[in-house]
Amino acid sequence: NAGVTQTPKFRILKIGQSMTLQCTQDMNHNYMYWYRQDPGMGLKLIYYSVGAGITDKGEVPNGYNVSRSTTEDFPLRLELAAPSQTSVYFCASSYADRGRPLHFGNGTRLTVT
């Protein structure tokens, strides 16, 4: 049981480049989330999805896009990378049940220079 898998683990981007952070889960979870974690700032929600074809903005969506074409996959797209997007990105998923916890991937460490 792989859980939540994120790729790549590390990436360095130049300003203005684009990339997609991949996230896939094999637990048949309805809900999926993207967070960013900056030192001393806690986790901030970027986007989330309650099911295939449904996405919604979180606290800090600017500069990012998402899609959810399948239950398993929830990629995060950075179109024009900026230094402010240097962060660690975490994908998470859960069942559509408030009594069930979130499961996290191991993160993608992104540096924009």
Partner 1 sequence: KQEVTQIPAALSVPEGENLVLNCSFTDSAIYNLQWFRQDPGKGLTSLLLIQSSQREQTSGRLNASLDKSSGRSTLYIAASQPGDSATYLCAVMGVLYGNNRLAFGKGNQVVVIP
Name the site residues for partner 1 (rule: CB under 8 A): 4, 31, 33, 35, 40-43, 45, 48, 50, 58, 90, 92, 98-107
Q: Based on CB atoms, which residue is closest to partner 1, 85 or 93?
A: 93
Distance CA 6, CA 71 (A): 15
Neighbours of 70 (CB within 10 A): 10
Residue 102 C-beta: closest distance to partner 1, Å: 6
Residue 77 C-beta: closest distance to partner 1, Å: 21
Residue 43 C-beta: closest distance to partner 1, Å: 4
Q: Based on CB atoms, which residue is closest to partner 1, 16 or 53?
A: 53
Q: Based on CB atoms, which residue is closest to partner 1, 14 or 41?
A: 41
Contacts of 40 by beta carbon, 8 Å cutoff, 6+ apart: none
Residue 64 C-beta: closest distance to partner 1, Å: 16
Q: Based on CB atoms, which residue is closest to partner 1, 2 or 14?
A: 2
CA atoms within 13 A on the CB side of 100: 11
Provide the β-strand partners of residue 25.
Answer: 4
Classify residue 85 as exposed, middle or buried by CB count within 10 Å of its CB (0-12, 13-18, 19+).
Answer: buried
